[in-house]
Structure 1
């Protein structure tokens, strides 16, 4: 029998976090690093990755990084190659990279639809396939944490911008998570998803400015937005031995929005 501290300890584990240079990805990197994991961050922009690396170092967390575009097949393969070469194997994969685009459905440009889908769904699957096939399945162990959204659980209230491609993509992530959990459970791999509500970030800045924080929090039961700590505990639960019997689950971290 393990102690609670042992169950949540990630010492000796390795983690690859996409979209890890800022926002929710960086918050999760802080949590996994603080729990003892060796980190590899990925995002498109090298300068932001360097800033994230320096930030984590200031917290006593060492992290490596690779600049890669999760919507490009060649970059996905290169990221998998680099992660496996530098880490040796990947115990924890956090699929956080994502994009959004706001436009009414009747006028939604196909180029924007493809951009969102290529990164949020296709790229997520292809990287997961690479890491699963090359590292997790052979070792009969893995923790996959997908970042979905409450936007993938329901439609938008009328007050919010129109984001049909984003919502559709996150709905796909929800069912990809459940389906893959069923397929890969026999390999000792858990696959779960976090579904954040509204957190201040670069991606949500436009919504916050357009709708206003007060209007957004008015329909949140806890009457607040997510903060810089609110994903940490759930991420470590899914990534650690504490969550070894949890798979195929979607955990909303949204202040209660999805419950009402």
Structure 2
């Protein structure tokens, strides 16, 4: 789809994205690049990085990839510094690296729980911490009088509760808390905006294929307010909005982009039966007026 934003909405910006080589992260990388940003991608798999960088460059987008694990402070520091060395500065950090799989709480080992927490929540904070010197107002390489921007990708799983997702729900709740706290502290002290996006089910992504197999895909759509899955483009456009001047007064917000799914529950009554049952209940109520019940005492 054609972007509603101007092609130069992010002109001159330098963005570093973890998890930016595949799925939602790659679409954000692409759209940031299409809107004028230079792109650095951090990931653990060299082949994924190479393919992503090659694709971005084929579109005329300045791009570079760096191998690294967000769980390791030394990797985070090295990649942030390498990005600044390559492009001269850092304006935007997107934390999209994540781990996920379906598992019941009783079958999930403490180590499995810890692994997802380390990637999603600890990794997010680690990247933010190492990027701070370059994102804050007046930081090295910054020609602007304002600070940079941090975007953390979370989820809506923890808004209520989710079957077989206790590890990710806990990790994403921590990511959202990190987003709000950094927005408060770093927004005040360093003029850095920190926001989040909470995607819903997004079609044609590795996460969707693992968490919602084709066998149950159709049933899931029936429970969604918009009756369709989201696309990677939907998430990327939300990211462009928040990263651009259009979102310059948005700070500490987590934007759900899920078609309203987190608000919904499966229908327990067909729509065409609502009025019929409602009238029936109302008629019974009128036929038996309320009154003070007699007591046997």
Same fold by TM (over 0.5)? yes
1:36 aligned residue: 36
Q: Which residue of 2 is the match for residue 45 of structure 1? A: 45
Partner residue, 1:128: 128
Shift of the alpha carbon at 1:8? 6.7
Identify the residue that residue 71 of structure 1 maps to in structure 2. Answer: 71
**Correspondent of 1:252 among 256, 264, 287:** 256
Segment of structure 1 superposing worse, 103-112 or 29-38: 103-112
Question: What's the CA shift string for 1:138-160, capped at 9, x where partnerless?
Answer: 4341111100111132211x5xx
Partner of 2:199: 196
Residues paired across the two proteins, number? 253
Dislocated runs of 4+, deviation >4 Å: 4-8
Q: 1:160-207: CA deviations, max 9, x gaps? A: xx0211111001111111111111112211110000001131123122
Gaps of 5+ in 1: none
Q: Matches of residues 1-260 of structure 1 in structure 2 within 5 Å?
A: 9-139=9-139, 140-156=146-162, 158=163, 162-186=164-188, 187-200=190-203, 201-209=205-213, 212-260=216-264
**Structure 1 SS opposite 2:70:** coil
Q: How many Å separate the matches in 2 of 1:41 and 1:153?
A: 30
Asked which structure has the greater RCO (Cα within 8 Å, sep 6+), the reply is 1
Q: CA deviation at 1:234?
A: 0.8
CA RMSD of aligned residues (A): 1.9
- Which runs of 5 or more structure 2 residues have no equivalent in the other structure? 140-145, 265-297
**Structure showing greater Rg:** 2
What is the distance in 2 between the residues matched to 1:66 and 1:116? 22
Query: Closer, same or farther in 2 for the Cα pair 1:207/1:6, shift >3 Å?
Result: closer
Q: TM-score, normalising length from structure 1?
A: 0.91
Q: From the superposition, tell whether residues 111 and 5 of structure 1 become closer, same or farther in structure 2 (CA, over 3 Å).
A: closer
- Conservation of the 8 A alpha-carbon contact between 2:7 and 2:35: no
Secondary structure at 1:98 match in 2: coil
Contact 1:15-1:38 within 8 A present in 2 as well: yes
The alignment's TM-score, normalised by the length of structure 2, stands at 0.80
CA distance in 2, matches of 1:29, 1:175: 25
